[in-house]
Amino acid sequence: MKRPFFLSKIKQQFRVHPVCALLGPRQAGKTTLARQFGAEYERQQVHYFDLEIAEDWGALQQPLHTLSQLRGLIVIDEIQRLPELFPTLRVLADRNEAHFLILGSASRDLIKQSSETLAGRIGYIELPPFSLFEEGTEQQSLLTRGGFPRSYLAELETDSFLWRSAYIQTFLERDIPQLGFSIPAITLKRFWMMLTYVHGQLLNRQALATSMGISSHNVSHYLDILAGTFMMRLLPPWFENIKKRQTKTPKLYFRDSGILLNLLGIKDHQALLHYPHLGAIWEGYALEQIIQAYHAAPEEIFFWRTQQGAELDLLVFKDQQRIGFEFKFTEKPSVSKSMHIAIEDLKLDQLLLIYPGQRDIQLTSRITAKGLTNVVRNLQNEQ
């Protein structure tokens, strides 16, 4: 599946920087996208190194000798496995003789050397798994299977579920240790399982620590790892200058609904429809789709809640607008008192109630119920 938006983002970064970092969870499609970009690369010469291949790993043990002889586009996959490369990349980037497309399965916070060593020379792009923003994707399959290409495109539901089970095991047993974290896989799996029951809720580190029998410090450490590997999203609260006590604790979401459903043991769409907390799963799924469709940066997205009970699931700051979102798994969307309070207190430009249906319904002069697919497709057509 071609992803033209992200191909254009890589081209844009190379107009400004000699190094472009394409970051995202393992198996999100980074390597495929890099090869698609390489096939269209204007300077012709393209060189690939995959640090999971022994021969390529060996070739880059003397990186300056190997890379200084190359011109054109140099793609280095799984860069987090060899962070010692970054000082060499700084030297070569300053020579301006090649473009470097580096692929990593961890955030720039976990690959600290990239931001520290390549400051001013590198641009970052986060590549998520498939979303409704991609041409040809379908809502029910994305909700149930998630967006990882091999899960989403699997021939059978059972194949998709099996792939995600193997992915989770590999992530815990191989990927986390390769990042330098010495946490037993069974401990992190147990912690991750516990998070399935607080998906969409305010983060309570002390409650998690008590349940796990670990310290709050360890809870924060584990959360940082799962967020830094794009598995979890910690959505920060927004504070408005109003005379109301407002929540200051982040909310916790699984970023991929397929991974969440696999950990919960939900194998298909029918089983999902009978799950008692379907509303929370829909909220997290729809929230992630909206964030991806708006291409919203972390500093542009928040939730809002007062201790008097008023709340807003998602607040997006984009193009000098304040856009509020509520997410409801319902066939009959309706207005709540909380929505009116959010409009007034936050001075929203618009408030959209996102639901699974297909029709757009004008609920009030300032509140519209919109089907998730319709919202995303409209944004897709504008870009």
Tens-place pLDDT, residues 283-338: 999 999 999 999 999 999 999 998 787 899 999 999 899 999 999 999 999 999 99
Q: At 43, is the pLDDT very low, low, confident or very high (cuts 50, 70, 90)?
A: low
Per domain, the residue ranges of the chain are 4-126, 139-382
Residue 374, classified by CB atoms within 10 Å of its CB into exposed (0-12), middle (13-18) or buried (19+), is middle
Of the two residues 33 and 307, the one the predictor is more confident about is: 33
Of all residues in the chain, the percent with pLDDT exceeding 90 is 83
Q: Say yes or no to pLDDT of 152 above 90.
A: yes
Indicate the CATH number for domain 4-126: 3.40.50.300
Per-residue confidence (pLDDT) for residue 209, from 0 to 100: 95
Please, how many CA atoms are within 13 Å of residue 235, restricted to the half-sphere of its CB?
Answer: 27
- What's the pLDDT tens digit per position in 251-289? 999 999 999 999 999 999 999 999 999 999 999 999 999
Lowest mean pLDDT among 10-24, 70-84, 185-199, 237-251: 237-251
Here the tokens at position 120 are 């001013």
Give pTM, 2 decimals: 0.94
Here the tokens at position 220 are 């924060």
Helix (H, G, I), strand (E, B) or coil at 22: strand
Q: Say yes or no to pLDDT of 194 above 80.
A: yes
Per-residue confidence (pLDDT) for residue 279, from 0 to 100: 96
CA nearest to 70, candidates 30, 29, 101: 101
Angle between helices 205-212 and 185-195 (to 10 degrees): 130
DSSP 233-267: EEEPBP--SSSS-B--S-EEEES-HHHHHHHHT--
